[in-house]
Amino acid sequence: MIPPAQRSTTPPPGRVPSIWRIELTTRTLVMAALAVGACSILLRLGAVVLVLVFALFLVGTLGPIVEWLEKKKIRRGFAVAIVFVSLMVLVVGLFALTIPTLVQQVRSLVAGEPALRARVVSALSHSSLTAPLAGSLEKIDYGSLARSSGASALAYSVKSIAAIAYVVTSIFLALYIMIDRDRLRGGLYALVPRRHHIRLSRILLNLEIIVGGYIRGQVVTSALMAGFTFLLLTVCRVKAALALGVLAGVADVFPYIGVFLSIGPAVAAAASRGAVIVGVVLAAMLAYEELESRFLVPRIYGKVLKLPSSVVLFSLLVGGELLGIAGALLALPIAAAIIMFIQELHIDLPGEDVDKTEVVAEEARAERTYESRTAGMPAAEAAAVATEISEQQAEAGDVKRKGMT
């Protein structure tokens, strides 16, 4: 037997030395099996997970407003009621402003469709290139189209009813979470060891900032879309410019299909003003959609979520491909949350070389302060202290960053 000191470390001829070595232990296999099982359960409960995520989005968005009202000496229950009632009034007002006008315009468009189609066919028939298209438009049979789309319309109606039910459930779930905030937060902190409470409070605070930043960014882009559409249609003297502007702002929330929901009604309403106005409205709306997707969205969301423009576009594509509209809506905050978790857990990336000594020391001091202040406290009261310390850390960090700039 060769002593360890005399063993050769040179690999045999023809063998390449191994840089990475993977050891499959029992613990690794068990953790992998648990991870696969958890992913399978989440996929099966996709709708339930989306309901919970949407409810947490509402909590993260409306929570700061409720806390602001609490600082004004309003009881939490009344503050939650004020916020939710105000939200319902706003939503009902938007629907009351847009839906009747939109229905009326759709009816007038349907009534004037034969004359509009005749004008289009006449214009296209003058050119040999567009003559086949004119013939196809002239021979459209709306009866067969209605019969063929009946089954699809029924399926979409069922899906729409289910989506509305999920949204209502999410709203009530968010209401219950906000009312029972202290008890739920105490239960969460009771499940986590005390040494991790400060880190948990920082993660929850950062998630609230991310959700709030995302919602504020969406409000900005929707408001800009609504304002642009209103001004454009007002200048072109198109009727119901305000209603169509609000509709375009609401439709801007939905990625991919939002462009059709905003441009379609505006162009249809402009049809009564002639082909020139239709072309102007269509060209202007398409130009603004391109400006928003290429310039505004990456910069607005990238600024509030601290995401590079390339990450914003890539996240939207991945989210839309995986989960459709819901995935695209959740893509940006999820991407920001992943980056935040990497930073908060001090995960060293392969190409990163950053000195984290000062940050780790500051976190250790905060943990010692927390442990000394919460000795013998119940989890619910300790959670409030952890949140207070994390907010103080965040304020100190903001002051430091402003001083450096």
Name the maximum alpha-carbon separation found in the chain: 99
Query: What pLDDT is recorded for position 151?
Result: 55
Q: pTM above the 0.95 mark?
A: no
- Does residue 362 share a domain with residue 259? yes
- d(C-alpha 316, C-alpha 220), whole Å: 18
- Does residue 238 share a domain with residue 160? no
CB atoms within 10 A of CB 58: 22
Query: What pLDDT is recorded for position 255?
Result: 67
| 226 inside domain | yes
- Does residue 324 share a domain with residue 273? yes
Backbone angles phi and psi of 118, in degrees to 5 = -65, -40
- Does residue 174 share a domain with residue 199? no
Given a cut of 90, whether residue 283 has pLDDT beyond it is: yes
Query: What pLDDT is recorded for position 225?
Result: 92
| 147 inside domain | no
- Does residue 279 share a domain with residue 239? yes
- d(C-alpha 150, C-alpha 144), whole Å: 10
- d(C-alpha 383, C-alpha 388), whole Å: 9
216-231 tens-digit pLDDT? 788 888 889 999 999 9
pLDDT, mean of residues 19-39: 69
- Does residue 236 share a domain with residue 161? no
Nearest Cα residue to 363 out of 153, 232, 174, 202: 202
| 188 inside domain | no
| 16 inside domain | no
Given a cut of 70, whether residue 14 has pLDDT beyond it is: no
- Does residue 235 share a domain with residue 162? no
| 282 inside domain | yes
- Encode burial over 187-205: b for 16+ CB neighbours within 10 A, e otherwise: eebeeeebeebbbbbbbbb
| 201 inside domain | yes
- Does residue 304 share a domain with residue 204? yes
- Does residue 342 share a domain with residue 242? yes
108-151 tens-digit pLDDT? 766 766 776 676 677 667 776 766 776 766 666 655 555 555 55
200-216 tens-digit pLDDT? 888 888 888 888 778 87
The token duo for 304 is: 């509030």
User: Taking the alpha carbons of 56, 58, 63, 66 in that order, is the dihedral positive or negative?
Assistant: negative
The token duo for 93 is: 């007002």
Out of 2-11, 27-36, 260-269, 275-284, least confident range:
2-11
92-103 tens-digit pLDDT? 887 887 778 767
- Does residue 158 share a domain with residue 261? no
- Does residue 292 share a domain with residue 215? yes
Q: Domain tally for the chain?
A: 2
309 or 6: which leads in pLDDT: 309
- Does residue 174 share a domain with residue 201? no
325-350 tens-digit pLDDT? 777 777 878 888 888 888 787 776 66
| 287 inside domain | yes
Which range of residues forms the domain containing residue 79? 46-139+154-179
- d(C-alpha 46, C-alpha 323), whole Å: 10
Q: Please report, rounded to a whole number, the percentage of residues in the chain having pLDDT higher than 90.
A: 6
Given a cut of 50, whether residue 368 has pLDDT beyond it is: yes
| 98 inside domain | yes
